[in-house]
Every structure is written in C-alpha cells, then in structure tokens.
A = this chain, B = another copy of it.
C-alpha cells in the first residue's frame, strides 16, 4: 500500500487539511470583491509577519520570482553587496548581477558571515546589501539586525531574503531597518509553493529601477494594491490557501508559532548531538542555528541514499539531502509550517532507527522528548 508522504524538508512543507480543503473550493473570479477581500486579508496578515507598516506585494511564482522582483525593482544603485554563505546567497549574487555591479562576499557554505567584510564592502561604495536571513542549504540563521545596522550607517538599501523565516521565526523589518524582504508560500506559512510576497517600505522606492522585468516590476503591483488587486491573473487557489493560513496563524498567535518552531528545531538539535551526530553550521558570535531547518553531517557508515531511501520506503517520510557540493555530506530536517510534536517525534524516531541499525548513531530520542514536553 502506498501511504501518504510526510514532508519534513525545508519547504515545500506538509500542508494542513484545512488549507488543502480551502484550495479545493470552486474557483472564484479574480476581478471580484470576493477576491479583493481575500487579497486584503492576506496582505494585512503578512504585514504583521514581516513586522512592517510598508506594502506587501503578492506575486504568483516561486520564491526566486520574489527575490528577482525585489532586486530588479530596486536596483538603481551603482553597486550592491550580496552576501553568499549558502546556495540561496549564491542565487542572490547571480540575480543581482543581471541588474547592477555586484560585490559578492563569499563565505564557505556553512560558515558564518564575517561582518567586518560587510563593513568594508559598504565603505568601498556599495549602495545596497542583499542577504539571506535563514539559509536553508546550511541550516544557519544570519544576523539580519546587525547587517541592517551596518548598512544604515552608510544609508544603503537593505534587501533580505526571508523566504524561510517569515511566519516561523522572528522578523521585524521596520525595527531592524530592513527596506525590502521576501517570503515564499511553501515554507513557514504552510501552503503549497507558487506564491511569493515582497514587503517594501517607502524608502525603497528611492532605488526604483523602471527597467525591471515586466512581470516582476513591483510598481505595477503597487498600483493595483490600492484596489486589493494584482496586475496579472493571480494563482487564485494559492491566495485562498494563504487566506486560510493567515487565519490559522492568527488562531495560534505569532509569538506561539515562533516559539513552536524554535522548540521543534531545538528538539532536532538536542537529539542529533546526543545521538553522536554533528551539526553542520559553524557559528560565530552573531549567527545562530536556523529555527526552521537543521543541517546535520552525514555520519560515516551510511550513504545519503541508504538513509533517505530507507526513510521514504519504510516510513513514507521525506527529509532533504545536501545541495550542490554538499550532496551526500549532510542531511536536513525541516520543522516548518503547520506540523505538530507527532511529526517531529516520528521523524527523529525513524531516522534514529535507520542510523542505529547501521551503527551510525546511538539512541537519543529522549533528549528530543525532553525539549518537546
């Protein structure tokens, strides 16, 4: 028998039945007051998750579309500093280089960001900084507040990829001094992929580049937002799903939600180190472990295929491997979105079962239970 899968990857995440059912409702037209009500509700809800009084624009497309909309629309700068300490930092650099000169600050994947390098880059004339808040490829949480603080001293524009932090971890755009931030639908918000949101404060428009791609030009989204509409036909079922997700977040309470995400990832880390495994990120005083995904070094004696293949075959659970040159070297457990203690415990117990059978770990589930109780 083929059982339903449990997705414990850093997005797309498991989707709650309430959200699946919302998507299955008969379609409504997008140029209707009903759709505008949904759009308004989604926008206002997202503003709270971003921690901003600015606008939030909803783009039908993946997180990468949101990143490119943000960077291309606000690229009227002579140079932008892009911080790369993982796959998504690298992607920021590649996107930005299509629109302006890039000073790419590259750190080994898994390393923390050296803030001195950021300072230097800005002193050398960069007018903007782009970085990834929660780098899922390595399981590291980059120091958003500190980066923004340095940027502000140089009046630089600050663009933050919050694709895998917004809605699951603390994000305070206005308080921290972030001008533009992006979230993806299939991460902490708990809905399927296909929707991105870009939060933008007033100041960002000083950097507006009217040569952004037509589909990703945020000015068109800004104009339509006044009527709670999108410039191009939106992915309606995903908006309906987001509307339900926002409702669920309100019911849970944002602070409770953040604490739940933190507890779940702490449970994964406590389990891992006590099972004799090693966490992948190398922290410095400013960085921390991601609160939404945990990257663990693959132990000797088992291959990626054996671990993840058996997990899927025996338990119908999907976790992630490493990306690019980290393939086979790490595995990653996502703890994002609308999942409970049950999913976390089932996943850790199953991974532990497979690792201990191969002699690659020792039992440590009690350490997770201790955190989760």
Contacts and interface: CB of A to CB of B under 8 A. Distances in A.
A193 B26 contact: no
A116 to B, nearest CB: 29
B192 A235 contact: yes
A15 B236 CA distance: 12
Given A233-B193, A235-B62, A23 B24 contact: yes
A60 B192 CA distance: 12
Interface string A59-95: 1111111001000100000000000000000010011
Given A23-B23, A68-B213, A233 B28 contact: no
Given A61-B65, A68-B213, A192 B12 contact: no
Given A12-B27, A98-B214, A192 B4 contact: no
Contact of A233 (B5, B21, B186, B216): B186
A9 interface: yes
Contacts of A11: 233
Contacts of A205: none
A203 interface: no
Identical chains bound together, number: 2
A166 interface: no
B29 A7 contact: yes
A363 interface: no
B60 A194 contact: yes
Nearest to A194: B235
Contacts of A13: 27
Contact of A238 (B21, B64, B235): B235
A193 B14 contact: no
Contacts of A237: 23, 192, 194, 237-238
B236 A12 contact: yes
Given A193-B234, A235-B238, A318 B29 contact: yes
A328 B226 CA distance: 22
A346 to B, nearest CB: 15
A186 B68 CA distance: 24
A30 B193 contact: yes
A12 B233 contact: yes
A6 to B, nearest CB: 9
Interface in A285-340: 318
Contact of A14 (B27, B60, B64, B238): B27
B20 A232 contact: no
Interface of A: 4-5, 7, 9, 11-15, 20-21, 23-30, 32, 59-65, 68, 72, 91, 94-95, 98, 184, 186, 192-195, 211, 213-216, 232-238, 318
